[in-house]
Amino acid sequence: MTPFDAKPLLATLTELPGVYRMIDAGGTVLYVGKAKNLRKRVASYFRDRHPSPRIALMVAQVAAVETTVTRSEGEALLLENNLIKSLAPRYNILFRDDKSYPYIVLTRDRYQRLGFFRGATDRRADYFGPFPSSQAVRESIHLLQKMFRLRTCENAVFNNRSRPCLLYQINRCSGPCVDLVAPERYAEDVEMATMFLQGRQQDVIGRLSAAMDQAAGKLAFEQAAICRDQIQSLRQVQEKQYVESGRGGDVDVVVAIEEAGTLCVNLAMVRGGRHLGDRPQFPRNSADSSPREALSAFLAQHYAVHPIPSRVLVNLPPGDDELADWLGETAGRPVKVAQPRLTVQRIWVEMAEQNARLAIGARNSALCRQGDRLEALCEVLDLDVEDGKEARIECFDISHTQGEATVAACVVYQGSGMRKTDYRRFNIDGIQAGDDCAAIRQAVLRRYAKLLTTDGAVPTLILIDGGRGQVGSALSALKELALADLPLLGVAKGEARKPGRETLIFADGREPLQLPSEHPALHLIQEVRDEAHRFAVSGHRARRGKTAQSSRLEEIGGIGPKRRKGLISRFGGLQGIADAGVDQLTAVPGISRELAEKIYAALH
C-alpha cells in the first residue's frame, strides 16, 4: 500500500475546531477524533515517531482523511460522540452507551409524588441524579419515605382511593390521598426532602429541631415526636454514610485502572455530598491503549449525553488537555476536571480505584469460567470455531397462554456473555393456536432469511428449547433456507422439569445425550436456555397485556383511539377504568354520561 501523502491535505486544512475521520483504502472509518485546531491535530499524526504502536498501525492504514468544521469546540465534542456511536471505528475506544441512568423524580402535582425515573428529563418535574444504579435510587426513596412520608403511588391510584393504603399504616406515607395531611404540611415535607436531596442535611435538621421545640411549647407532643423521629433518622443516615463531604454538591469520580491486562474505567457518583456507589465499565477496542487515553475517551463519550457536574475528580490527568474547556462549553458553565487535593476527595478516588480493581478481578474470573464452559460445550458437541472468531450461540423459545398472544424469542450468547443488542422477538400469527412446532418454524425462517441476502452473523450453534418436534420444525425451516448445515440442538426438559436432567436432542439423528448435572457445558446451555425463556415470557406478557387492555374497550361502541387513549392515560389501565365510577369516567374529555354508563356496564 502506498503511504498516504498528508502534505496536500495539511496545506488546505483550517485552524478552526471540528472533527476528523481517518479512512482506509476500503472506505472504512478507522478513527474519529475532535480538534480545537484541525490543522495542528491532524498534522500530529503524520510525523516520524508516534506515541504508541497502536497509533502507528492505524496511520499506516490511512488512505484518506475527511474533516467537518464546527462552530465551537462543544459542537465538535457532540459530533465526535455521535460518529463514534454510529460508525464504531476500530481504533476508537468504545464504551457501552448507558442512556438510562436512573433519577429520583418529584412531580409538580398538588401533592407531589416521589418516584423512580428513567429516560429523558423535562421541565414538568424536578429530577435529582443521575444515580449509579437503580438500587441506589430505591434505597434513597426508602429513606425519604421513612423521614418525610411522601406519596409514591401513581396518579391513577392516588385519584381513586377512598381509604389510606398500607404505606400509611406503616408510617411510610402521610395519607394525602384521603386528606389526612394538610397541603401546607405536606408542602413543608416536600421542601425538606428537596433540601435533603440537595445535600443540605444540616439545614433540614435545624428546621426539624425548631419545629420540634415549637410543637413541644404548644404541648403538641405527638407532632414533636414525629419531628424527633425524623431527626433521629437523619442522624442515622449520616452515621451510616461511610464517606461524607461535610457539605453538599454533585461530584463525579472517574478513575482508569489497568491490571492483569484488563482496562477498567470506574464512575463513582456523589450527589448532595453523599457517595452513592459506582459503576465500572470495560471499553472495547482498548488494546495497547493507556489508562489516560481510556479516561479521556470515557469523559468525552459519557458527558456528551449525560448531565455534567461542576467538578470531576480523576486519578490521572486526562490525555486531552482541552477536555475541561469542551465540557465547560457543553455545560454552559465552568467544569473543573482535576486530581484530588482534599482528604475526602482522595478517599473517594482511592475507593473508586479499589472498586475498579475488584471489578477487574471479578470480570477476569467470570471470563475464565465462561471460557471453560464454552470449551467443554465445543468438545461435547464437536463444534468447530474458526481461529480469531468468537463462538456464537442463538437460542429460540416460545411463550403463549393457551395459544393466545404467541411470542417467539431469540437470544444470543457470544464471546463471554449474552449479547442483548442482538436479541429479537417475533409476534407469531397465522398458525393453529398452541402449535409450538409451527411457531418455532416461523421464528427460524424469519430470523435467518436475512442471511441469504445480507452478511449477517452466522451462529456456531442454534439451540431450540424443546424436544424432537420443535427440533424437526427448526430443521425443516433451515432446509428451506439452504442452511441445514448449521449445527442444531434441542434442549428437552427432564423429569418434573428439574434442572440438571435435560436431554439434548440432535438434529442429525444421533442418540439423545444427557450430561451430568455438574457438567460445565450443561451449565452454559441452561444459562442461554433460561435467558431465552425469560425474554420470551416478558414479550408474551407485554403483548397479552396490550391486547387485553385495548380489546375490551374496542368492543364498546363509541370508544375510538382518542377516547381509549384518554381513558388509559387517566386511569392507568383497564383495571383502573373498571374501578372508576360513572362520575369519574365523565371527567375524561369526550366521555358523556351516557357513554360513561355504557363503559361501566360493559366492565362489570
Cα–Cα dist 30/34, whole Å: 14
The residues pairing with 33 across neighbouring beta strands, listed in sequence order, are 20
Residue type, 483: L
Cα–Cα dist 100/117, whole Å: 9
Q: Which parts of 160-297 are beta strand (E)? A: 251-259, 262-271, 274-281
β 311-314/251-259 pair status: parallel
Q: Measured between alpha carbons, how far is residue 100 from residues 120, 494, 553 in Å?
A: 8, 39, 33
**The 29-35 sheet, strands edge to edge:** 29-35, 18-23, 64-69
Look at residue 394 in the predicted model and tell me its pLDDT: 94
Cell 429460540 belongs to 396
Cα–Cα dist 596/302, whole Å: 50
Q: Is the dihedral of CA 588, 592, 595, 601 positive or negative?
A: positive
Look at residue 537 in the predicted model and tell me its pLDDT: 92
Look at residue 410 in the predicted model and tell me its pLDDT: 94
Residue type, 258: E
Cα–Cα dist 309/324, whole Å: 12
- With DSSP H G I counted as helix, E B as strand and the rest as coil, what are the percentages for the chain, rounded to 5? 45, 20, 35
Cα–Cα dist 259/363, whole Å: 11
Q: Residue 220: left (phi > 0), alpha (psi -120 to 50), or beta?
A: beta
Contact 521, 380 (CB under 8 A): yes
| 176 DSSP 8-state letter | G
Look at residue 238 in the predicted model and tell me its pLDDT: 47
Residue 334's contacts (CB-CB under 8 Å, 6 or more residues apart) are: 310, 328
Q: What tens digit of pLDDT does each residue of 193-230 get? A: 888 777 676 677 777 787 787 777 777 777 677 777 76
Look at residue 256 in the predicted model and tell me its pLDDT: 92
Cα–Cα dist 467/329, whole Å: 60
Look at residue 446 in the predicted model and tell me its pLDDT: 92
Look at residue 141 in the predicted model and tell me its pLDDT: 86
Cell 428537596 belongs to 194
Cis, bond preceding 130 (omega within 30 deg of 0): yes
- Structural domains of the chain ordered from first start: 7-87 (3.40.1440.10), 104-240 (no CATH), 251-360 (3.30.420.340), 392-543 (3.30.420.340), 555-602 (1.10.150.20)
φ/ψ of 417, rounded to 5, equals 180, -175
Residue 113's contacts (CB-CB under 8 Å, 6 or more residues apart) are: 105, 106, 107, 150, 151, 152, 153, 154, 155, 158
| 313 DSSP 8-state letter | E
Q: Which three cell numbers stand for residue 128?
A: 435529582
Look at residue 464 in the predicted model and tell me its pLDDT: 94
Contact 250, 310 (CB under 8 A): yes
Q: Cα torsion at 248, 246, 106, 310 (round to 10°)?
A: 30
Least Cα distance to 275 among 299, 236, 245 occurs for 245
Contact 174, 189 (CB under 8 A): yes
Least Cα distance to 70 among 131, 17, 10 occurs for 17
Q: Which three cell numbers stand for residue 90?
A: 476500530
> Which residue ranges of the chain lie beneath pLDDT 50?
238-248
Contact 441, 420 (CB under 8 A): no
Cα–Cα dist 122/129, whole Å: 13
Q: Report CA 591 to chain centroid distance, whole Å.
A: 39
Cell 421513612 belongs to 146
H-helix segments, 251-392: 291-303, 323-331, 343-381
Look at residue 2 in the predicted model and tell me its pLDDT: 67
Q: Is the dihedral of CA 19, 25, 28, 30 positive or negative?
A: negative
Element (H, E) at 213: helix 201-217
Q: Is 489 helix (H, G, I), strand (E, B) or coil?
A: strand
Cα–Cα dist 87/85, whole Å: 6
